[in-house]
């Protein structure tokens, strides 16, 4: 009987320590914004900067890096977080149309209908993010 109680106490202690560790390492919205902007920047660099002439390659990367804080704002505005205390689920519906409208002057009329929407889901745990779903959604 004493062995069973001791075993239960050890298991309960380990579970409590794991729960405390998980809750303390559940990353917040700001960290997700940095993570998502970095990933998006990498994707844009891979897809866009490869299409420019070689002598403009470093300029392209530099321009994208200069826009990282703006990307964080756009992502934050289009992301929902479900905080489960031990971990968080982040869902982003990244609409290029909404992003462009934020940076283009109001008097500039550009037809941005039909631009893709990307749905991204990630889990935040242990101060890290793991993206488990990325899909292109048809525009509304």
Task: Tell me the pLDDT of the chain (140 aa) as tens digits.
Answer: 777 888 888 888 888 888 888 889 999 999 999 999 999 888 877 777 777 777 777 787 887 788 788 888 889 999 999 999 999 999 999 886 666 665 555 665 555 566 678 899 999 999 999 999 999 887 66
Output the pLDDT for position 108: 53
Residue 114's nearest CA partner among 101, 95, 133 is 95
Asked whether 134 and 125 are in contact (CB, 8 A), the reply is no
Question: What's the N-to-C CA distance of the chain in angstroms?
Answer: 64
Taking the model in full, what pTM does it have? 0.79
**Which residue in 138, 33, 140, 44 sits closest to 92, CA to CA?**
33
Strand order in 128-137's β-sheet?
A: 79-83, 88-95, 117-125, 128-137
The reported pLDDT for the residue numbered 67 is: 79
Q: What is the pLDDT of residue 113?
A: 60
pLDDT at 83: 96
């Amino acid at each position: 009987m004493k062995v069973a109680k001791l075993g239960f106490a050890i298991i309960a202690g380990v579970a409590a320590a794991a729960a405390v560790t998980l809750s303390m390492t559940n990353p917040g919205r700001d960290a997700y914004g940095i993570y998502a902007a970095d990933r998006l920047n990498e994707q844009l660099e891979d897809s866009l900067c490869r299409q420019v002439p070689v002598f403009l390659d470093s300029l392209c990367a530099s321009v994208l890096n200069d826009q990282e804080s703006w990307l964080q704002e756009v992502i934050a505005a289009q992301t929902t977080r479900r905080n489960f205390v031990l971990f968080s689920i982040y869902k982003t519906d990244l609409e290029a149309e909404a992003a462009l409208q934020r940076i283009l002057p109001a008097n500039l009329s550009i037809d941005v209908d039909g631009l893709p929407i990307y749905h991204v889901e990630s889990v935040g745990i242990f101060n890290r993010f793991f993206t488990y779903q990325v899909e292109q959604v048809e525009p509304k």
